[in-house]
Structure 1
Amino acid sequence: MKIVKVEAFSLRDKGEGKPHWVSHFKVPHANEILIRLTTDEGIEGFGLATSYTSNEPLIHVLKTGLSEMILGADPLTPERLYHSLFSLTWQRASAEKGWTKEALVRLSAATDIACWDIIGKAAKMPLYKLFGGWRDEVPYYVTCAYYQDGKGIPELRDEMYKLLDQGHTRFKAKVGGLSLGEDIERLEAIREVIGDRDLMVDVNRAWDLRTATQAVRMLEPIKPRWLEEPLRWTDDRHETTLLAQRTHIPITGGESEMTLEGCRAFIDERAISVLQFDVTMFGGFTGGRKLAALCELNHVDVAPHHDAYIHAHIVAGSPAGLIVESFPDPSRDPLQAELFENPPITRNGTLKLNDEPGLGLMLSDRALEKFGTQIM
């Protein structure tokens, strides 16, 4: 089998509403590259590359030769194709073409996901079964409580009541953008609304070790299920290990890494209880499966970042799989709401995977026209 056609779309949404801020940056409403591959046997597969920075470096790579390296490749050999693309990050040819490491990492991941989609379709099996078939339903949580202009405690309460009315049962709140006392007040308000349901806390790497140490003491009465990315990026692996020794609250991280090796270091240093890699940002399914196996052997849970319908296959396929992240608010993530004609069913806090082969997802032509600009 050979890849005979490569298509790519830049998926963007300007977002007309109030920006969604985390501790120190604004998250995009939609900012992904979609890669669609077609084989000589007529099988199509797609993958996504997520980026919180500009898509332009990825578009440049695609337009200046990467697609030529994908054409003619065998999609049934994802290890070989992924390595050939990822290895460009240390080759002179990339510098000559002006290809950045981040762009290559993202696009190698998207291409890998598309290959696995083809593999599942060729095998006539959904990927979660090919990945081990541990279960066909996975829990999900809702990421919420972003900082927005005019959003005080009353508006935060209203948001949580709305999510409860929609039937959601687990929640992750943003902190780190205000003083520690103000953030604790916000979390106390959320806890009062949701009762004893799961509440996760996400700092987005905003605190120093002194602040984080104070925070874990103040958080204990709120009983968070986990504390996510609490430390600033400069020394977060070492400091996360130190923080984990100072609290019983599980510490999570991994989404801000760019490589599998970076995630491995978190596990090796026993810094985290839950790993949150993102196969649309690095590694693809080829890398994600390796990390899931490593987590299982090291008694670390897997709770991937973003793109619930893609990551559900990793979580459902492995005994280490814990939960997926969901964004049901279209003003935060319109792609989750509109990109697929047949999204998995979510009910009572669980996501039921589709039994269609591959990713089991059908792209919406309407959404591609609305959000997409075809690159090639």
Structure 2
Amino acid sequence: MTNGSNSIETVEVYVLNNPDEVNPHWVSHFIVPTANELLIKIKTKDGNSGFGLATSYTDIKPIIKPFSNGLQDLIVGEDPFCPEKLYNKIFKLTDTRQSNEKGWSREALIRISAALDIACWDLIGKASKIPLYKLFGGYRNKVPVYVTCAYYRDGKNEKELREELQKLIKIGHQSFKVKVGGLSIKEDAKRLEIIRQEIGDDKDLMIDVNRAWDLKTAIEGVKEFERFNPTWIEEPVRWEDDRRNLKLLSQQTKIPLSGGESEITIYGCRSMVEENAIQILQFDCTMFGGFTNGKKLSALCELNHLDIAPHHDCYIHAPLVASSPSGRIVESFDDERDPLQAELFENSHKMSNGWIHLNENPGLGLEISETALKKFGKLVYKNK
């Protein structure tokens, strides 16, 4: 701990939820939230500041609990310019008596360590007056972006599906990731026929199964879907033996396989790489690892000739993807699926014609909209 002017003096924690009712967005077997994130703001004694986000697909109450009984005391006074040290301090609480006695869950500490780490790097970039994409390596200043769409919805018909795709094409999207696995392979193939008709043969099509298939079904599915020329098939096999089954499935298809977002640490992602289970790694810095470990996975993939295509939060992940030769593409959503992407930032990086162009502002390059914070945010902790 440091008591100098660079130490963290203020910590603010918000929960971000969507107050508006929206139609449910089903994947193969669960509904995805339109907004369910933890926002951490930090500020040092000398006025440097940064923010970070953590994404949760589960109840967020256990994730904010540690700020009600002492976790903040382990953050205040620390040096945000030493992100590796601070990340490890919070992450390694997952294996302590202290966390058990206080009821700090493993998932909560993993999410908090990720958001705090991103906040530290944002602060470092702002204090240095350097955009993070340059601080991390500066490989390029723009990245390709795809839109995730074609979610399942009760009563959703062909007309609605076509109109959804037409709207996204009109906006300028060039790459589309769509959902399968909630219906039979034949029924999903009919949906894919419609989707390919609408987007044409010149645009990229990714297929996301969300871990719905057993290995036998996955083998059948990749053979059936080869005719749609998919760029990749994402998380095609069930969670309980996914790495082994991914490796076995890769031997049955030429379609690249992707995964990683459902891992809970970078070590699971490392195993996917080591076992040659995938060709594209989709970790999520806002769910585990932060940028400190996102950079490590990016380097690991570069050395092993794999691409990274991080899950979710395109504006958060864009600097990391832009910084490295392993960076392939980032994920985006329409305004209904992810209103935070549309409204949270005053100065979002420009998105047009299938690319995100990073601005030259320091750090993440993003400023939180106070209007959006009032709409989506609830302050759950502030130490001063």
Give the TM-score category using the shorter length: over 0.9
5+ residue gaps, structure 1: none
**Equivalence for 1:314:** 320
Q: Within 5 Å, give how 1:116-135 maps onto structure 2.
A: 116-135=121-140
Confirm or deny: 8 A CA contact 1:109 1:283 kept in the other structure: yes
1:13 positional shift: 1.1
Structure 2 partner of 1:252: 258
In structure 2, the residue matched to 1:72 is: 77
Q: Does residue 58 of structure 1 match 2:63?
A: yes
1:218 counterpart = 2:224: yes
Q: Which residue of 2 aligns with 1:186?
A: 191
Residue 362 of structure 1: how far off its partner (Å): 0.5
**Equivalent AA in structure 2 for residue 83 of structure 1:** N
Length, aligned pairs only: 375
**Quick one: distance in 1 between partners of 2:362 and 2:347?**
13
Matches of 1:102 and 1:256, distance apart in 2? 12
SS across alignment from 1:248: coil
Kept after mapping to 2: 8 A contact 1:15/1:29? no
Q: In 1, Cα distance between the equivalents of 2:71 and 2:299?
A: 30
CA distance, structure 2, for counterparts of residue 17 and residue 298 of structure 1 = 41
Alpha-carbon offset, residue 234 of structure 1: 0.5
Corresponding position: 1:355 with 2:370: no
Tell me which residue corresponds to 2:182.
177
**Could you tell me how far apart the structure 1 residues matched to 2:335 and 2:70 are?**
35
Q: What is the match of residue 305 of structure 1? A: 311
2:3 aligned partner: none
**Following TM superposition, by how much is the alpha carbon of 1:143 offset from its aligned partner in structure 2, in angstroms?**
0.2
Three-state SS of the structure 1 residue aligned to 2:69 is: helix
| One-letter amino acid of the structure 1 residue matched with residue 265 of structure 2 | T
CA offset digits 1:170-219 (Å, max 9, x no partner): 10000101111101110111001111210000000000000000011101
In structure 2, give the amino acid aligned to 1:291. Answer: L
Matching residue within 86, 89, 108 for 2:91: 86
Paired residue for 2:155? Answer: 150
Q: Offset at 1:154? A: 2.0
Q: Provide, for residues 10-32 of structure 1, a one-character-per-residue CA deviation record: whole Å limited to 9, x for no partner.
A: 00114412100000000001000
Choose from 197, 203, 225 the match for 2:209.
Answer: 203
Give the SS at the match of 1:264. Answer: helix
Q: Of 231, 237, 240, which residue of structure 2 is paired with 1:234?
A: 240
Aligned residues of 1:169 and 1:348 also touching (Cα < 8 A)? yes
Q: Which moved more, 1:61-70 or 1:318-327?
A: 61-70
Q: Which amino acid aligns with 2:303?
A: L
Instruction: Tell me the equivalent position of 2:273.
Output: 267
What letter matches 1:107 in structure 2? I
Question: Which AA in structure 1 matches 2:102?
Answer: K
Q: Is the 8 Å Cα contact of residues 160 and 193 (structure 1) preserved in structure 2?
A: yes
Are residue 39 (structure 1) and residue 44 (structure 2) matched?
yes
Supply the AA of the counterpart residue of 2:277: A
* Poorly superposed stretches of 4+, deviation over 6 Å: none
| Alpha-carbon separation, structure 1, partners of 2:317 and 2:65 | 27
**Residues 83 and 121, structure 2, Cα contact 8 Å, conserved in 1:** yes
Does the CA-based 8 Å contact 1:14-1:29 persist in structure 2?
no
Asked if the contact 1:48/1:280 (under 8 Å) is kept, the reply is yes
* 1:18/1:149 contact within 8 Å kept: no
Q: Distance in 1 between matches of 2:20 and 2:276?
A: 39
CA contact (8 A) 1:36 1:44 kept: yes
TM-score normalised per structure 1? 0.99
Does the 8 A contact of 1:49 with 1:109 survive in 2? yes
What is the RMSD of the two structures over their aligned residues, measured on CA atoms? 0.7
Secondary structure of 1:33's counterpart equals strand
Residue 368 of structure 1, CA deviation: 0.6
For 1:181, what is the secondary structure of its paired residue?
helix
Equivalent-residue separation in structure 2 for 1:154 and 1:211 (angstroms)? 28
In structure 1, distance between residues paired with 2:324 and 2:204: 22
- Partner of 1:375: helix, strand, or coil? strand
Counterpart in the other structure of 1:141: 146
1:323 aligns with 2:348: no
Q: Distance in 2 between matches of 1:366 and 1:139?
A: 29
2:115 to 106, 110, 119: 110
CA displacement 1:138-159 (0-9 Å, x = unmatched): 0000000000122122211111
1:11 is paired with a residue whose SS is: strand
Query: Do the aligned residues in 2 keep the contact of 1:346 with 1:352 (CA within 8 Å)?
Result: yes
**Contact 2:19/2:375 (<8 A) preserved:** no
Match of 2:34 in 1: 29
Letter in 2 for 1:317: S
Q: Is the 8 A contact 1:8 1:374 kept in 2?
A: yes
Q: Matched residues in 2 for 1:293 and 1:65: separation? A: 35
Give the whole-Å Cα distance in 2 for the aligned partners of 1:152 and 1:168: 22
Q: How does 1:337-356 map onto structure 2 within 5 Å?
A: 337-356=342-361
Q: Tell me, which stretches of 5 or more residues in structure 2 are unaligned? A: 1-5
**Partners in 2 of 1:227 and 1:156 — Cα distance?**
20
Cα distance between partner residues in 2 of 1:126 and 1:174: 34
* Identity level (%): 61
